[in-house]
Structures are given as structure tokens and as C-alpha cells.
Amino acid sequence: MFRLILRLTALVFAVGLTSATVHSQECKPPEIVFNKDSGNIFTEEQEMYLGDAIAEQIQRDFRILEDPEVNAFLDRVGDRLIRHLPPTSLKFRFFIVDIPEVNAFAMPGGRIFVTRKLIAFVRSEDELAGILAHELGHGIVRHGAQDLSKVFREVLKIDSFTDRADVFAKYNELLDRQNTKRVRRSSGHEGDQQMEADRIGVFAMTAAGYDPAAFTSAFDRLFETEGKTGSWFSDLFGATKPEQKRLREILDAVKEVPKECVERESVGTQTEFEDWQAEAILISSVPRTESVSAVIRRNLLNPRLRDQIRHLEFSPDGKSLIAQDDSTIFVLKTSPFEIRFRIDAPEAEDANFTPDSRSVVFSTPGLRVEKWDVASGEAELIREVYLNRECIQTALSPDGSKLVCVDTSDSSASRKFNVKVFDVATNKLLLERKDIFSTRRRFMSFNQLFSSFGRLNRRLLEIEFTPSGRYIVLGAGEANVLDLSTGEEVKLGGNLDEIMAFPFAFISNDLIIGQDDKKMEDSGVFQFPSGRRLEKFDLFADSLERPHQGNYVLVRPIKTAAVGVFDLSTKKFLLANNNPALAVHGNVFVSENKDGVLGLYRLDKDETIATLELPDSRLGGLRALDVSPDLNWLAVSNDERGAVWSLYSGKRLFYVEPFSAAYFDKTGKIFADFGSAKDKTRRLGIMNLADQQLQNGRELPGSRATQFGKYLVTYDYKGAGTTRIDVPTDIRSGVRIISMRNDIDTTFQLRALESNEVIWEHEFKKVFPRSFFDSFNENISFVLPASGDSAKEIYKDSEPLKQKAKELGDKDGDYFVHVVEAGTGKVLGQTFIETGEGSFRILEAEAVGDYLGVADSENRVQVFSLSTGDLLGRFFGRNFAINKEDGTLAIGNLSGKLNIYDIRSGRVLEQMSFTSPIAYAVFGKYGKKLLVLTTDQEALILDTTRFGQ
């Protein structure tokens, strides 16, 4: 439904302002005439309820930025405009959201969203006011509610609503059935309706005292029309682009507002706007203030679990060092070895030092660029770079001043690639080369642009700058080189165009080390750009990295380790390390040990120069997490290390190698799966809480076996063309198995973890099932295609289920959920879930007592009765926990926020805010307590009996 709502309500710039006559004798806002009779089935109050429902569904993807001071400026500008709108009972509200687009959009019910990038894009309060006025124009004439009215009528045959609960219920029903009927939508509203909305927006902006020309300049920049407005003649014969036509109509419209209608109170100064703009770019999506109730105890985990360092880099002068994990960039001194400052940057690409060693620069996938001064530890520059097209890959120049974007354009014969270079400080396009290469000439297909589930493969191309930053190399089967000073393409000699299309590294501005993909022994050192070979040797790697000082190259990976240091003089490896994060400067290297301590070491001999334990950072990507049923103990592991803490004191009891699963038994022992299948050293480890001793248990089998609680699950599958299927684990629910094929016969086998004894097994026909394991309640939920052979085989002896299946019909997209007791395989409950011809997908299922919670693709959790199949309630959010003792649901929808609901009534019992994101939440086995673990590694135990009081 998210896709549906965006089509209906994302109105920013997609429809331009249209000129119309304003009665100069009257200063009151234009009346709403044409949009009054537009088929809107919502009252204004009901439309606000609709807006609440839509917001709850989709705001999770928007990352709302909450800061009262920053929002106050936006509210002030909005309120000034609202004074000049026609009378309405709609309550307009303004929100800043962090999505990587220059955009603003109005939702039904008065919500106006402005992206952080749009705030960075506008140059004045006047430009901002023009955009808000445009959205208010569409909000006041209620275009979003009009569009959805048509959808409700055609899909659900609904033409009226009653109260808030009725609006929410019918909106959820629409989500359930949105695919059952295709609703035709025009590209815009009717001419008179559109003109009226545009006229109201222009009037409000101009009457509020803002300069309408500022909006036209913003419009001009956004669409790159360069002030070209076309004419009626070019319109008639098709020579005017739509963007140019809309710009001309805006210019015409603003002439119609009489001077006497303009508000005389002055707007804010340019300095005030720029100060606010800078603050808006900096704010976080996590709440600044905490609001938590019913706390029994709270403890910081001590010591906290150190995240793995993923990137290390020396400054060119060797005096500083970057150490970066998934959430933080630490900038260090090398002598003495100590921390200079830290940068919270959870989305940052690998940071680097500028060539003069004075600054640290980095970018994010959303094209946010930051530059920090090493000496002062202060931000020198923070910019939100905004582009009109999505980049499939980006690169930041060594000094952070330029951003390279590679995008694509369609062709009937091939997919073509374009290169754009932007000035970071001004967002000015410095260079553009279209169709610089295409997939027709390349070894790759366009499908290689995407990794699994449609996510962009961010390492599609080799993109490298020369150390000076003058040239940029783009490689994809063949290399292309651009001279950024002239914009011209540089011809490569020899076979350098092939060598540099694969991982290579600049030794200097005129030398590279590269590998021959066809003949590894023909790798070596080459002159750039002539291609003349200077040295020849055998080399193969996924990546090559040249230190700023020292005749070495870092090779990742090598046969025996994640990284090796290759001596270019001797053509031998001097050092190998299992952790790929390693950096070299001269005869010194830095790496992280298993305890999370950084060490400076001599490269030429076995000598430790200095060590440093980094400050705590946020809890990063987790490999495993489990908690004892009484919520007294916690076990957590990432890819590098694991630990166990007391939740009474926060004290750490075990600090161990990483594990992929853990289970607390009743005797005070923890059974954990240490190692991994690829390590070929996978084993069961037993941690005794009483004496804090770790014992080695038996060896565990390979990739088709996974620990879940006190059980080991194995999968055996067969079928034409079957290949190995990975079984990823969802740390929140225990297991999440992704069904990759529907033509595979799978035998699901459950064994005792300690003895390896087979307890029970079940064969699933023509499907690799998705399974969700609940270790507290010791049950397994199988999610199967309702029309599949496996589901039919399971319910063949149940007349009620066969009747239900007959009523549903043999439709694709519907599900059959089969819940069994883990220890016996005994059936606990079964139900069908209808999806309205695939209107939503099941992402997760969890059975707790008689409750079956289902998280779906529409950002909802639906709760069913396992015994009857009845729907008990729907709640917006993704991560959830069910308390079967009192029938409540804990669910997170926004970062750092957790709501507690009564499942059957839908009543909100508690709304809690935390000052860092929530990593994990679970009810204790007996329902009296709730554990909340934040990414700051604080564990809070809450008293559930006090919720709602």
C-alpha cells in the first residue's frame, strides 16, 4: 500500500502552479469551488483519521526527525501561510523526514512532509515558503482524500465512514484487498480542480509576504530549466518541456495578487534561515528526551560489547589514524596512541583522510558528505548533495570536494551509463558525460546491478581517483578515464583498459598495480596512462590497497587469510591477518585483536608499539541474541566476539569467541553454537553461570543444521537443479527461513542439541518452508503456500480446514500457517491467511499461546486466534512481542519508540520513547516483565502489571 499512497499523495513539483485570476478588490483567500464537488467521501475530521492511519503505516520508512527547536521554524513559516488559506477544520502539521530525495509532499488530513535534502536545497525562507504553500494548496482542496475516495469506492464499494476506528478498520481492509481491483488513475486532477489548488497556494505565499520569484528560482534549479519558459507557440508544436511550461505558469500566476493583500510583517533574516538550515541538516531521527514508565531496574552492560572495526586508515603524514565500525568513526593520534575525537556516523561509507592529512571526509549512500578538521575535532562542512536521478554507485574525491555519480539510461539494445561530477560545497554540476559505456560492451548484464531482493550492488564498478584527484577511473569490463580538469576522456595504452576494469591500486599519480583477469601471472606494475609494463608477477585479489608510505600493497583476500601485506620489492607476503581491517604506514601496521583492542605493531619484526582500547560505540550488526526466560541473563554475539551479562547488575560474566545461537537451560547453563560451517570447526560450547567456566561440547554438522533453543534443526532437500540454500537467523524471533524454491522436496528434521538424537521429522512436498521458532514457548510456525501440496497434505483430514480452503479457492498468494510443539511435533494450531491476491506478504510469524502474530509487507502486525483463526487486531509496526498472559502487544514503529497495546480492544496502554534505537524487546516467560535493550547497550526491565495505569 505504500506504493499506492505515494502515487496518490506525493504531489510535490509533480504538478505545477497554474495561472488564474485573483479578484484584486478582495484580500480574502480564494474560495474553494471546483474541489467541493469532487467525489470526496471523507469529512474533514474523517480525513484527519485517514491521515493518522497512513502516517502510522508509512512513517517508519520516512525516519521523522524530531527536534522542537528546528521544527518551530518550520511551524512558524507554515502558520504564516495558513493564515491566508480558505477556512478549514483541517489541522496542518509539518514534519522533517530523512529520505534521500529533494521532495515535499502532502498527505490526507493535513500532514506536510519536507525532506532534509529539500531543506539543504532551498536557499532562503522565501523558497521554503513557496514549496510549503504549494503543498498547502493541495492539502486545502483535499486532493489526497479525493484520490483515496475513488479507491475505496471501487475496491471496497464503500462510500461513507463513521468514527476513527471505522476509518482505521476500512483502511486496513483496503490494504488487505488492494490487488483485487485495478483502479485507473489519471496523471493529474481535472483542469479546474488543479488550477484552484495552484491559485490558493500562490495567493497564500504572496499574501504572507514572501517573494514568489524565490519559488520560481527553486523550481528552475530543481528541474534544470535554466529559466527557459517556452511560449504558447512552442507548447502547441511540442517544443516546450513540461517543466518549462510549469515554470512559465508560475511566473504568470504570481502577478495576480494585489499589493494591498500582502502581509507587511517582515520575514526572518537570511542569517536566521541559514542557521536553521544548518541545524536541520544535523538533527537525528532518535528522540532527544526519554519517556519510559514502570521501570523495575536499568543497567548499562558493563563492559559493553565492542563492535568490530571494519575500516582502518593512516593519514598520509602517519600522525593520525581512522578506526571505523558500523556506527562510529574514531579519529586517533598515533604518537601517543590515543583518541582525538569520535564522529557518530551509522550510515557512513569508509572514511578517509584528505591528501594534506588535515581533514577526515566521508559520504553516505544518501549522498550526505561530511568533512571534519583533525586538529579541532569540529565539522568543517556538512552537505546534503541532491540529484535528479538515483545513482547506482558514487565515489567521493580524496579531498571531499567532488562527488561522482554513475547513473543509467535505457536503450533498446543496452543499458547505458552516465557519469556526473558535482561540487560538494555548491551542488554545482561540474562535469557530465552521457553514455560513457554500456552493458552491451561489458561482461555484465544489468541484473548484476542488483543484489538479492533488489538492493543495489554498491561495488558494481571499479571507481578510483588518482592520488591528486585529477583523474577518475571507472571500470566495468573495460576502464574509462576522465580528466576532471578538462572533462575529456583519456586514452589508455596497452591493455590498461582491461587491467584497470578490475581491482587495482594507484602507487602514485602515474603508476598502478593491477591484475590480468585472464592470466593472473601477467599482473604487475604499469605506467598510467601509457600502459607500459614495468614489472610482472602473479597476483589475484578482490581488492588492492596502497599505503600512503611503504613499498607494499594490501591484498584482500589471500588463500589463507582475509588480508595479506605484499612486499613489492621481494614479491612476497610479509603478513596475513584474519581480520580484513588492517592498515600499513611505513614499517608500522595497525589491527584489531579478538578482544577489540587496537594495536600498533612493527612490520619488520615482532614488536608491539602501543595498544588502545576504544570507547564504547553503539551495538552493531548482531549475529545472535538470547535471553533467559526469567530475564535475568543476556547473551549477545556479533561476528567478532560474544558475551554474557547479568541483567540484575549489568556485569559481564563471559567474554568469548563469536557464536551463532545460544540457549539458557533451567540449570544455569548456556548452550551456544561456536564457529561456522565455513570454518569447519563448528562446535557446541557450554557456559556454566555458576562457576563461569566454558566447556567444549560435541562437534556440530555443516550448513544444513541450525541451533534453535535446545534443538538442532537439519534440512535435507532434493529436486531438479537444486542448489545450496542458506538459512539465515532472525535474532528477534529465533529463526527466519527464506523459501527460495517451490519445486524442492524438503525433509525437516528436529534433533536434540546435546545428543543429536532425532526427535521427529516431517517431509514437505515441493517447497522449502519458511519456519519461525519461539524458544520461550518452544513452538515452530511453518508458513506455507495455501495452494501447495504440503499444505493440502497437512489439512487433508480436517473437514473445517478443507471447507475453508474451498471457500478461499486455489489462489496464489494465500498462506497456510501450521504451528507445532517443538519437542514433539504435536499440532498446536492451524489457520489460513488470505492476502487479497497477494496484496501483502508474510514476513514473520510467531505463536504465543493462542495468539498468532504475523508481520506483513505493509508494515503491520496482524494478530489472530490460533484456535479459531479469527482476526483479533491489526497494529502498524514491524518488530513485535506478544504477552499471552495479559493479551498485550509491544511493537516498535519509529526509531527509539515502543508502544504497548491491548490486542483485543486496540487501546494504547503505553507510549515510550528512548534516546537511542531499540535493538531488542521481549516479554518474560511469565508475562510480568518486559526487557528492552537499546543500541546504547542499556537493558531496562519494565513491570507489565503497571502498564495502562
SS (H, E, C) 38-62: CCCCCCHHHHHHHHHHHHHHHHHHC
* Grid cell for residue 188: 493529474
pLDDT at 191: 63
- Closest Cα partner for 381 from 389, 392, 370? 370
- Closest Cα partner for 207 from 82, 318, 347? 82
21-50 residues labelled b (16+ CB within 10 A) or e (exposed): ebeeeebebbebebbeebebbbeeebbbbb
- Contacts of residue 786, defined as CB under 8 A and 6 or more positions apart, other chains included, come to 805, 808, 811, 814, 815, 816, 832, 833
Which residue has cell 574514531? 330
pLDDT at 171: 97
Please name every residue paired with 912 in a beta bridge, in sequence order, or none if there are none. Answer: 898
Residue ranges for the chain with pLDDT beneath 70: 1-26, 185-192, 194, 223-256, 409-415, 437-460, 476-477, 676-680, 702-703, 719-742
CB 298 within 8 A of CB 245: no
pLDDT at 730: 44
Determine the 3-state secondary structure of 679 from DSSP.
helix
Structural domain includes residue 201: yes
Angle at 493 between CA 488 and CA 495, to 5 degrees: 120
pLDDT at 246: 56
E strand residue ranges, 458-587: 462-465, 471-475, 479-483, 489-490, 505-508, 511-514, 523-527, 533-537, 543-545, 552-556, 563-567, 572-577, 582-585
Domain count, the chain: 2
CB 463 within 8 A of CB 393: yes
Last residue of a domain, one of 282, 313, 344: 282
Structural domain includes residue 914: no
Structural domain includes residue 724: yes
Question: Which residue type occupies 453?
Answer: F
Please name every residue paired with 659 in a beta bridge, in sequence order, or none if there are none. Answer: 674
Query: How does pLDDT run across 468-479, given as a tens digit for each residue?
Result: 999 999 876 678
Alpha-carbon distance of 277 to 275, in angstroms, equals 5
| The dihedral sign for the CA sequence 440, 444, 449, 451 | positive
* Grid cell for residue 75: 511551524
The 8-class DSSP code of residue 460 comes to S
Which residue has cell 501440496? 789
pLDDT at 21: 39
CATH classification of the domain holding 748: 2.40.128.630
Structural domain includes residue 267: yes
Please name every residue paired with 672 in a beta bridge, in sequence order, or none if there are none. Answer: 662, 685
Structural domain includes residue 449: no
pLDDT at 275: 95
Q: In the sheet that 827-833 helps form, which strands lie side by side, from edge to edge?
A: 770-774, 779-785, 815-821, 827-833
pLDDT at 946: 97
pLDDT at 9: 41
Structural domain includes residue 211: yes
Structural domain includes residue 750: yes
- Classify residue 683 by burial, with Cβ atoms within 10 Å: 0-12, 13-18, 19+: middle
- Classify residue 82 by burial, with Cβ atoms within 10 Å: 0-12, 13-18, 19+: buried
How far lies 298's CA from each of 54, 648, 937, in Å?
35, 8, 11
Helix (H) / strand (E) element for 82: namely helix 68-82
pLDDT at 721: 47
CB 768 within 8 A of CB 744: yes
- Contacts of residue 92, defined as CB under 8 A and 6 or more positions apart, other chains included, come to 78, 82, 110, 111, 112, 136, 139
- Mark residue 531 as left, alpha or beta (left: phi above 0; alpha: psi -120 to 50; beta: remaining): left
Determine the 3-state secondary structure of 267 from DSSP.
coil
- Closest Cα partner for 816 from 777, 773, 856, 770? 770
- Return the biggest CA–CA distance within the chain: 91
CB 922 within 8 A of CB 931: yes
Backbone angles phi, psi at 50, to 5 degrees: -60, -45
- Classify residue 215 by burial, with Cβ atoms within 10 Å: 0-12, 13-18, 19+: buried
- The residue range of the domain holding 75 is 2-12+24-282
Last residue of a domain, one of 876, 903, 921: 876
Alpha-carbon distance of 277 to 13, in angstroms, equals 21
* Grid cell for residue 929: 516483565
- Closest Cα partner for 889 from 856, 917, 848? 848
pLDDT at 676: 61
pLDDT at 301: 97
- Mark residue 836 as left, alpha or beta (left: phi above 0; alpha: psi -120 to 50; beta: remaining): left
Last residue of a domain, one of 858, 876, 894: 876
Structural domain includes residue 822: yes
